[in-house]
Amino acid sequence: MRNLLFLFIFAAGMPCAAQEKARVKSEESLFLNLQKTGLGSLGELEEKKKFLETIRLEKAKIQEQMLGNVYENAFEYYRQGNYEDAKDLAAKILSIDPNYQDAQMLLEASNQLRGSPRPGMSEKLMLEDRFKTALSYYTEGRIVEAHTKMQEVVKLSPNNIKAKYWLARMKDDLKEYYFQKGSESYAARDLKESLDNFYNALMIKPRDALTIEWITRIEDELRQQRANDRLKEALEFYAQGRLNDAYEGLKRALEIQPGDSKANKLLAEVKLEIENGYLAVGKKLYGARRYPEAIGEWDKAKPYTANMSYLQKLITRAREQMKLESEDKKRRAEDSARRAKAEEEKQAKEEEDRKKAEAEAKQKGVTVEEMTKKPQGISEENRLAGQQHYLEGLKFFQNSNFEKARDEWTIAKQLDPGNADVALGLKRIEQILAGGQ
């Protein structure tokens, strides 16, 4: 860019018509304009590549325009007989673009004429020498060299009528030369070389119908050849079971040759296999109740399916099942929490009842087991009889006739062993008779 800036400043300082042309945008304004091209964020690699390629193309345009301006200035020096400055500018152009053929031509001519005491006569002799060389090449059948040399004569001497006439004749022959070379390359099945030659012929005669017909035919064959290469590669991937690579290869083949029936048919089969693979994995995951992963597999199948509604049904079903199982899990957790709470309350109640029973038993002087023991197999008649003997014994006990009370309560216990009051009364009598109070 430094060389371009130098040439721009150098060319701007020269008094000639070229400097009146539209000024080239500065690099800063170019960058600002590029920001408006809709590239968006440069976070992705492809976007960065696109941006850099745009920069490269814009810089190439700037360089081409600048070098064109500088060449016009150099040629103006040449026309004025200032061969030294013409040579210097031509050399600077070639230091930036070594393939700038017009600058190379001007450099050679300026070197040849530099320091000549009679510039006009020397230039005339030089042009005549080049003219003769061009005709000599033409006579020898060296059409390309003859055309190039005669073109130099016309460029260095735009008003040379004789040179223009011969250049026009050579153009016709050059067109035929490239046409013949293209035909020969085509016969040798070197399609790329053949196409290059026919395009060269077309550049000389842009409206030649036969050349255009040949270019169209070769372009079609090259496309078919490239499509066949891609198709062959895709078939190899398919045979190896590399379905995704086969799919990409077939897409590339169809980009080149969209109407290829074999590629379209195989692409449909490959897409179906890829889809079925994702469907099978998804269903297996669904069966294992791994619903998010199953949905992920079915999402992967979308680019390959011809039945999107079926995929959507599978995904919807999985999501509904996820929701149902989530609700069921929540409900079971709530039920479990309720049961745990009820069990805790039950245990607390039992503990409260146990403590109450112990306190009551302690108050009555019996064990809890005795107090809570229920009669086994006692008839209602025995229970009533036992209760009657208990009441009779209670009368004797109240009259301090402990022997009679013990006898009645002993009979009552035999009739109703589970009567806690009887057991308590007998225990009290034993304490009294033993000397206790």
- What tens digit of pLDDT does each residue of 334-349 get? 988 988 988 888 888 8
User: pLDDT by residue (tens digit) across 208-229?
Assistant: 899 999 999 988 888 888 888 8
More confident residue, 3 or 352: 352
- How would you write the chain as a 3-class SS string? CHHHHHHHHHHHCCCCHHHHCCCCCCHHHHHHHHCCCCCCCCCCHHHHHHHHHHHHHHHHHHHHHHHHHHHHHHHHHHHCCCHHHHHHHHHHHHHHCCCCHHHHHHHHHHHHHCCCCCHHHHHHHHHHHHHHHHHHHHHCCCHHHHHHHHHHHHHHCCCCHHHHHHHHHHHHHHHHHHHHHHHHHHHCCCHHHHHHHHHHHHHHCCCCHHHHHHHHHHHHHHHHHHHHHHHHHHHHHHHCCCHHHHHHHHHHHHHHCCCCHHHHHHHHHHHHHHHHHHHHHHHHHHHCCCHHHHHHHHHHCHHHCCCHHHHHHHHHHHHHHHHHHHHHHHHHHHHHHHHHHHHHHHHHHHHHHHHHHHHHHHHHCCCHHHHHCCCCCCCHHHHHHHHHHHHHHHHHHHCCCHHHHHHHHHHHHHHCCCCHHHHHHHHHHHHHHCCCC
The answer to whether residue 62 scores a pLDDT higher than 60 is yes
Domain ranges of the chain: 2-173, 378-433
What average pLDDT does this structure show over 141-165?
88
Mean per-residue pLDDT for 238-251? 87
Pairwise CA distance, residues 320 & 312, whole Å:
12
- The pLDDT value given to residue 22: 36
Convert the pLDDT of each residue in 14-43 to its tens digit. 444 344 333 333 434 434 443 444 444 445
Average pLDDT of the residues in 382-398:
87
Model confidence at 393, pLDDT cuts 50, 70, 90, reads confident
**Looking at the predicted structure, is the pLDDT value of residue 129 above 80?**
yes
What is the reported pLDDT for 262?
A: 84
Least confident among 177-186, 214-223, 268-277, 348-357: 348-357
Kindly report each contact of residues 132-137 with a partner whose C-beta sits within 8 Å and lies 24 or more positions away, as own/partner.
Answer: 134/166, 134/170, 135/166
426, 397 Cβ separation under 8 angstroms: no
